[in-house]
Structure formats: C-alpha cells, structure tokens
Chains A and B, each alone.
Chain A
Amino acid sequence: MSINILGTATTRFGELWKISPRALAKEAMINALNASGLKASDIDALFVGNMLSGILGNQANLGSLLVEELGVQVPAFRIEGACASGGLALHNGINSLLAYRYKTVLVLGIEKMTDHNQDEITSALMAAGSDDERMAGATFPGVYALMAQAYMHKYKVTEEDLASVSVKNHYHGSLNTKAQYQSLITINDVMKSARIADPLKLLDCSPISDGAAAVVISSEDNARKIKKPVYIIASEVATDTLSLHDRKSFTSLSSVVNASTKAYKKAGIKPSDIDVAEIHDCFSISEAIATEDLGFSKKGEGAKDITKGKRTLFKGDIICNPSGGLKSCGHPVGATGIKQIVEIAEQLRGEGGMRQVEKAKIGLTHNVGGSGAVAAIHILRI
C-alpha cells in the first residue's frame, strides 16, 4: 500500500471566537489544495472527520455543508469516531483510493468547541462513552483518571512522572506557532494546578479547542511530480469495548496494540524504526500508556522514559509530539487525527522549522477515540 500525500494544511488551534466553523474548515481545505497545486475541481470526494457538530452546534449533514464551501458538488462524507474521527476519516479516504473508486480525495478534520460552555462540552464529550459511564457521573478526565490510578499503582509511577509528559509537550508546543499554548510549564505548575479528577490535574489534561486540518491524498499512480512526496504506508483501525470497566486491562489499550501491530506488519517495519510520532495525549497518562502499547517503551517504563527525555526533541530516540501534542497544540477533537498527519508530513519533508526532528524518515500517528474504544494508526515515510 502506498498513498501519496500531495498537500497538507492546518489552521491555528485555540479559542477562535471570531471564526465560524465554515470559515475554519474552508481555510484548511483551500490551503491544503493550494499546497498540492490542485484545484477543488480536481478532487473526487471529500471526507470530513468531526464529532460534536450535531450535539453542540445542532448541525448535521456536514459533508454537503463543507463541500459547498469548495464550490463543487462531489460526494462528501462525515465520519465520526469520537476523538479518532480524523483518523477514521483518513482511513476511509485511503480505502476509497485503494478500492479504485476515487483517485484524489480531500480529507478534513474540524471541530468548533469553544463557542459552548464547559459543562455542555463535558456532557457532549461523554457521548463517546457508554450509558453505564454516563449514569455513574463519570467524565472523560474521570475515566482516564481511573487508568492513571491503575498504572501508578501497578508500576510505582508518581504524579510527577506523569506531569513530565505535559512539561515536554509544552516545550515542543513553544516551538510551534500554530499551537494553542506556546508557553513553557514546570512539573511544579502541573502539580499545583486545579484537580479535575484525582490524580489528574488541569495541566494533565488537553484543552478545549477550535481548529481544522486537511490533507490531499492520491493513489500513487495518479500522483503529480511533487518535490518531496510523503507516502502513507499503513492505515489500520481497531476497536475495543466502549466501557473501560468491561476490559481485561486498565493499563493498556488493546485497540492500540492491535491496530499498531497490524500497521507495523503492513509497513514491514518495527517500532524502533520510527523516528517521530504524534501521540494522542488527551491526558498525560494517555501518552505514557501509548508509548508502551506502540512498542517504544517496555511495559511500565513509558512514563519513566518520558521523564528521562527519551521522547523529547533534540535529545530523545523516538521523538513524541513535536507539534506539542493535544496538550499544548490543542485538541479540537475531530481535527486532531488530521493535524497529526500534517505534522508528521512536515517533519518528513524537513519543514519542521524550530521543532524539526533530525533525519526523520519514518513517522507514526496514534489517534484514539473514547477511552480506547477505537484507535487509528498511520505510518508515513518520505
């Protein structure tokens, strides 16, 4: 499998009160098209990753709404898988190319969250959980807090160890002009921040964000002569139970293990071949567990390896979240999976600017929905 990435773009992430969802999506789509050298009329279909537009904005039919912004009338689809909506939209776009149904498609991830207040958003995000979890009064930070407690208890990991994930990602985000938060933070800042769901504190949690990101992809034989082609060499999705309490393990996500195992096999590589990865750090604990499930660290050593700097720019071996990750770059949920692809493509093309990972040849994106009920893994190479 080899899919060509022709163009990529992301908007600034943050509290974008002056920009409508339509305008946000249009900015990402037009910039991705411009980067690819194509026109809207060259696109065979549009795939849109979005979670909350129906719940928060009372707007469905997003495919048609957003294709209208392009001024064309091609087939358009909205794909939803909670915070993995972007990754799932890309997977579906890729499948349409592999099936020879379309030759060139545009994949967009978009979310507009900050128009709404905090408890509305907290409730809306819990739509990704189960009835049992909602009836228990659980929240997403709450569900991940349970995982954090299980992990800390099993592997003797401290709250300070987990805080180092946020500290690293803010350092990376400080080098990204599109990031929501470009400020450095310390372990002490994380420890002193307000408790959200024990043991997780505000600075263990990714923020509420607006943003959009888009990629133009094509089957290789249709690829134009572009200067630095980046290829997607694996796209795999796996699922798990919707509820955390129904799982055998609380310290590993089988959806991530299964999807990444398939992806490594498909790409013909092993975890240590990865130079750079964008990880779904919706909470600090998520990145610690992810680096183990993806095979970067041994079981129980993910958080400790992050503390040691093994995932940090300019000193680590496998650099995680050069964009700043969800924590610092922001987490507009439907856009995240596509933003990760944009970041890795830029890194592989050597366009990472101040946050460039040296000699990056192979990259991975890890996009998770719910508390691990779905995972989308993509592997890219230059």
Chain B
Amino acid sequence: MTTSPVKLWRRQKDVASLIGKKGEILLWTIIRVPAKSFVDQAPYPVVIVKMQHGGNMIGQLVDWQQKDLIIGKEVISVLRRLRTEGKEDVIYYNIKFRPL
C-alpha cells in the first residue's frame, strides 16, 4: 500500500503529542489474518485503550506476552515503525502501545 508522503507529513505532526500517554486496555483481539502491509507482523494484538487524559484510542500492542492480554491491563503509548513499506515509500512511524 502506497501512502501519499503529504498525508504522512500532515498526520505525523500530531503523533509527537501522543507519545508517553497512559491508559488501560478496554478490549483486545489478536489479528491472525492481516491486511497486506502488516503481513510480516502477524499474529499481533490490537487493543482499544481508555486513555487517562480522556477518550479512547485503538492501536497495536507491542512487546507483549499472553499474560498482558487482559481487560484493565495498564499500557503506555510508544513511537514505533508502523508497517512494511514498498521500496519507494516513506517509512512511517506511529503510536503503538506497550504493556506496563
């Protein structure tokens, strides 16, 4: 999947303000059949997180073990490389979550 560099640049400006925020897992699943650009990461968990600063976010859970997959588990937002890009694409970094 090719994403416009302009679109990435526009979105990237908001990403820095979202790093290091805490929350707790509301819901989780493990994606075993992913979309094309996530194929080499599967299986991986996706979580909906209730953020301490308000609102919910959805993201991938990284550095995880099976015991982390529980409702109520505390997590923190971290900056990670998003996915596998094509040779001509800009490498994209985005918010993911790590268990605390």
List residues of A whose CB falls within 8 A of some B CB: 118-120, 122-123, 126, 131-139, 141-142, 145-146, 149-150, 153, 194-200, 243-246, 250
- Which single residue of chain B is at the shortest CB-CB distance from A135? B94
Smallest beta-carbon distance B36→chain A, Å: 4
Q: How far is it, in angstroms, between the C-alpha of A132 and the C-alpha of B94 when the chains are bound?
A: 10
A138 and B32 in contact (CB under 8 A), knowing A149-B27, A153-B71, A246-B56? no
A119, A135, A197, A244: the one contacting B48 at CB < 8 Å is A244
Q: Name the A residues within 8 Å of B28 (CB-CB).
A: 146, 149
Q: Give the size of the chain B interface in residues (CB under 8 angstroms).
A: 30
The answer to whether A146 and B37 touch across the interface, beta carbons within 8 angstroms, is no
**7 A-B residue pairs with CB within 8 Å:** A119-B36, A137-B38, A146-B48, A197-B30, A245-B48, A246-B56, A250-B26
Q: How far is it, in angstroms, between the C-alpha of A72 and the C-alpha of B94 when the chains are bound?
A: 50
The answer to whether B31 and A197 touch across the interface, beta carbons within 8 angstroms, is yes
Q: Name the B residues within 8 Å of A195 (CB-CB).
A: 30, 32
Q: Name the A residues within 8 Å of B29 (CB-CB).
A: 142, 145-146, 149, 197-200
A122, A149, A246: the one contacting B35 at CB < 8 Å is A122
Q: Name the B residues within 8 Å of A142 (CB-CB).
A: 29, 31, 46
The answer to whether B35 and A136 touch across the interface, beta carbons within 8 angstroms, is no
B36, B37, B41, B58: the one contacting A133 at CB < 8 Å is B58
Q: How far is it, in angstroms, between the C-alpha of A118 and the C-alpha of B35 when the chains are bound?
A: 9
- Which single residue of chain B is at the shortest CB-CB distance from A137? B38
Smallest beta-carbon distance A192→chain B, Å: 15
- Which single residue of chain A is at the shortest CB-CB distance from B50? A245
Q: Name the A residues within 8 Å of B5 (CB-CB).
A: none
Q: Name the A residues within 8 Å of B33 (CB-CB).
A: 118, 122, 139, 141, 196-197
Q: Name the A residues within 8 Å of B41 (CB-CB).
A: 137
A149, A196, A250: the one contacting B32 at CB < 8 Å is A196
Q: How far is it, in angstroms, between the C-alpha of A350 and the C-alpha of B45 when the chains are bound?
A: 48
Q: How far is it, in angstroms, between the C-alpha of A142 and the C-alpha of B27 when the chains are bound?
A: 11
- Which single residue of chain B is at the shortest CB-CB distance from A138? B46
Q: How far is it, in angstroms, between the C-alpha of A198 and the C-alpha of B39 when the chains are bound?
A: 17
Q: How far is it, in angstroms, between the C-alpha of A195 and the C-alpha of B28 when the chains are bound?
A: 14
Smallest beta-carbon distance B55→chain A, Å: 8
B87-100 interface code vs A (CB 8 A; 1 in, 0 out):
00000001000000
- Is B82 on the interface with A (CB-CB < 8 A)? yes
- Is B20 on the interface with A (CB-CB < 8 A)? no
Q: Name the B residues within 8 Å of A153 (CB-CB).
A: 71
Q: How far is it, in angstroms, between the C-alpha of A198 and the C-alpha of B30 when the chains are bound?
A: 5
The answer to whether A136 and B36 touch across the interface, beta carbons within 8 angstroms, is no
Q: Name the A residues within 8 Å of B30 (CB-CB).
A: 195, 197-198
Q: How far is it, in angstroms, between the C-alpha of A134 and the C-alpha of B33 when the chains are bound?
A: 14
The answer to whether B32 and A197 touch across the interface, beta carbons within 8 angstroms, is yes
Q: Name the A residues within 8 Å of B37 (CB-CB).
A: 123
The answer to whether A136 and B32 touch across the interface, beta carbons within 8 angstroms, is no
Q: How far is it, in angstroms, between the C-alpha of A200 and the C-alpha of B57 when the chains are bound?
A: 22
Q: How far is it, in angstroms, between the C-alpha of A146 and the C-alpha of B69 when the chains are bound?
A: 13
